[in-house]
Amino acid sequence: MMAAAAASLWRGSAWQQWRYRIVERFSVSQTNIVQVAGYRWCLITSRGFHSTVYNPNEKTFDKILIANRGEIVCRVIKTCKKMGIKTVAIHSDVDSNAVHVKMADEAVCVGPAPTSKSYLNMDAIMEAIKKTQAQAVHPGYGFLSENKEFSKRLASEGVVFIGPDMHAIQAMGDKIESKLLAKNAKVNTIPGYDGVIKDADEAVRIAREIGYPVMIKASAGGGGKGMRVAWSDEEAREGFRFSSQEAASSFGDERLLIEKFIDNPRHIEIQILADKHDNALWLNERECSIQRRNQKVIEEAPSTFLDPGTRKAMGEQAVALARAVKYSSAGTVEFLVDSNKNFYFLEMNTRLQVEHPITECITGLDLVQEMIRVAKGYPLRHKQADIPINGWAVECRVYAEDPYKSFGLPSIGRLSQYEEPLQVPNVRVDSGIQQGSEISIYYDPMISKLITYGSNRNEALQRMEEALDNYVIRGVTHNIALLREVIKHPRFIQGDISTKFLPEVYTEGFKGHRLKDSEKMELLVIAVSLYMAERLRSQSFLGVPRISLAKPNTKNWELCVQLGDTTHSVVASCQESIFFVEVNGRKFCVTGEWNLASAVLSLQVDNVQRTVQWLSRDADGNLSIQFLGTVYKLRVLTKLAAELSKYMQEKVTKDTTSMIRAPMPGVVVAISIKPGDTVAVGQEICAIEAMKMQNSLPAGKTGKVKAVYCKIGDTVAEGDKLAELE
């Protein structure tokens, strides 16, 4: 039957050059070996949304070392296992119990926590390769993935680099050289300065010549690291300093370039795939315009904005650029697209992109497998006409960040509870963590990439909403509230977006979901029902009533529920796990499965389905509930307790403008003041580096510096005192 299914796929598929299509879905539940036309094929079936071929008779490598950490290592390992390839993981000492270490066949420690001493430590990684006798290295993204010296050292040892050749890394990984090559290949480019910026004075001079605003960015690397927009001479000087420091920290290369900043652009990129036999394809586009601090937050494929003609023109220019440098492997050509669909070359990433899963969803290709095949010397199996746009895919980057602070300042901590929403149809979670994992200050704060797929955009977004509601993350602050608000915003739904979406939509910063009157009533009713359900549960044990000094009145409950500054009077009752709640004269019925031990509760308020997470509660009636993505704090009290609470003294709010505290955990990298100095509002006090990003901390008021409580190199926690004004 399996053989018949494979043969049927071969006969009926439009991709007939694929000898047989084997359905692969991400959480593998069943593996079958079938024989068709004399070949043995691995047929893997389960939940997911892309199809690819894994032919065990096609020899590639016996063992691959993955020079990275976290989710991308786990992602590469999954494909290697399906291809029958053994894997080696590297790790720092703090990552010794990481998921990617446990998944690999072998693991080698390459140094202490700082990236410069571990994941960027070429000597230690080369030693790990020799020790494990790995034949090839997959670099993932970031770290050494676009480092020409690393590629050169691998070649000198006869180890295959699963990526482009060294000359392509040098040409396209360097933003300055790649821009010159793009011009020669007749690719549209942004006006700017193509040389290396020597110092802050030269940065100001060049910025003036180009005309503000300008983008100052690292010549090597990507991912938003080492990038600043400058609108004035002062910002150009500051941008030069921070960008060069971030670039040196993240990529070991502090060189910068400057180019014209295009206002209100879309960030749209083209995925390419090329082999060593002069074959090159473009695999459609990804829309990556939802960003904060020049880092992508939400991506989708395809884009709502491109028409077939523009898509084709962008794809052809991307392939022309790849051919110009004899590119081989997977890569991405990034463009800025203005409102008139004029597009300009931004940069080329000579590696696998973070957001590659959404391309896999709509094309059916496994990009990691294609990279491995190309690195071994096999030609591509597909032609340009065979690449489809099948359905729609959306990816949300779930970060350990506080979205209420500059759309996301890093958060650290241990994941006390973690449950991925795999019960939602057509969801994929690429993660490298598990319950008990620690998010530290040393690395990127990404928890996972959450991907949903649908036959159309509407369906993909609906599944994303459901997945975000069912995603359980406890122990660190996360950005699920921001992600959910963006995908539900009318502008996003209409496709009216740009790289300025977040600051334009949330002009005063992100404040969470703004409840409509009907939603507020639903939240109040849910809070009361949860309060009652717990009180009723506490009155019995294993179905047997507990001994009580006073018989509880479960017929009618007279309560008060506080949300913000407003208190609402409530009358409620319960009949056979159905709660009847009257708030301010309005009556509601709440039903559901009242398993209070579950992290996620599915409830119906007057037949409106709601998914909530009950995060915390205490003996004083304080509840914390995640509702519509946002966490709300409420208080449910009996009528008597509410009356007595009026006599409690209120806490006096302290003036905190004199104290400068760390808004996030990190390392102090600069101190701009000393005791006795006079500072103005907005003047820099110090700078903190957290998770490879530098953040300037300004004074909250004008005054004289009373004390400085930190020094350069100190590791600080969120809330630690850094300096104080008189």
**By the 8 A CB rule, do 278 and 320 touch?**
no
Cα–chain center distance at 140: 15
Structure tokens belonging to residue 281: 């394809």
CA 20, distance to chain mean position in Å, is: 34
- Distance between CA atoms of 514 and 510, rounded to whole angstroms? 10
End-to-end CA distance of the chain: 81
Strand partners, 230: 214
**Residues facing residue 133 across a β-bridge:** none
When computed from its CA atoms, the radius of gyration of the chain, rounded to whole angstroms, is: 28
Q: How many residues does the chain have?
A: 726
DSSP E strands in 158-306: the ranges are: 160-161, 192-193, 214-218, 227-230, 256-260, 266-274, 280-292, 295-301
Q: Could you tell me the CA-to-CA distances from 466 to 331, 434, 479, 614 in Å, in that order?
A: 32, 21, 15, 17
Are residues 409 and 694 in contact, defined by beta-carbon separation less than 8 angstroms?
A: no
Any idea what DSSP says for residue 189? B
Stated as kind and residue range, the H or E segment containing 43 is: strand 39-47
User: In whole angstroms, what is the distance from residue 270 CA to residue 568 CA?
Assistant: 53
CB 280 within 8 A of CB 230: no
> For residue 403, is the peptide bond before it cis, meaning its omega torsion is within 30 degrees of 0?
no
Strands (DSSP E) contained in 391-482 are 392-399, 401-402, 409-410, 413-414, 417-419, 427-431, 438-439, 446-454, 472-474
Spatial distance between the Cα atoms of 407 and 508, rounded to a whole number of angstroms: 11
Q: Which amino acid, residue 639?
A: K
Helix (H, G, I), strand (E, B) or coil at 316: helix
Count Cα atoms within 13 angstroms, Cβ side, for 171: 20
Q: Residue 609 contacts by C-beta under 8 Å, 6 or more apart in sequence? A: 602, 603
Rounded Cα–Cα distance for residues 88 and 129 (Å):
9
Q: Virtual CA dihedral for 298, 304, 309, 310, nearest 10 degrees?
A: -40
Place of tokens 């399996």: 2
Tokens coding 555: 């017929």
What are the residues whose beta carbons fall under 8 Å from the beta carbon of 647, sequence distance 6 or more? none
Count CB neighbours of 569 within 10 A: 14
Question: Rounded to the nearest 5 degrees, what angle is found at the Cα of 661, between the Cα atoms of 655 and 666?
Answer: 165
* Cα(93)–Cα(98) distance, integer angstroms: 10
466 catalytic residue (yes or no): no
Dist. CA 226–CA 312, nearest whole Å: 31
**Which is nearest to 91 in space by CA: 126, 124, 52, 119?**
119
Q: What is the DSSP letter of 424?
A: S
d(CA 318, CA 306): 15
Instruction: Look up tokens 């500072």; give the residue.
Output: 679
| Sequence-ordered list of residues with C-beta below 8 angstroms from that of 714, at least 6 positions apart, any chain | 667, 668
Q: Which member of 300, 347, 485, 522 is catalytic?
A: 347
Measured between alpha carbons, how far is 666 from 228 in angstroms, rounded to an integer? 20
CA distance 417 to 437: 10
Count CB-CB contacts under 10 A for residue 589: 14
Q: Which active-site residues does the annotation give? A: 347
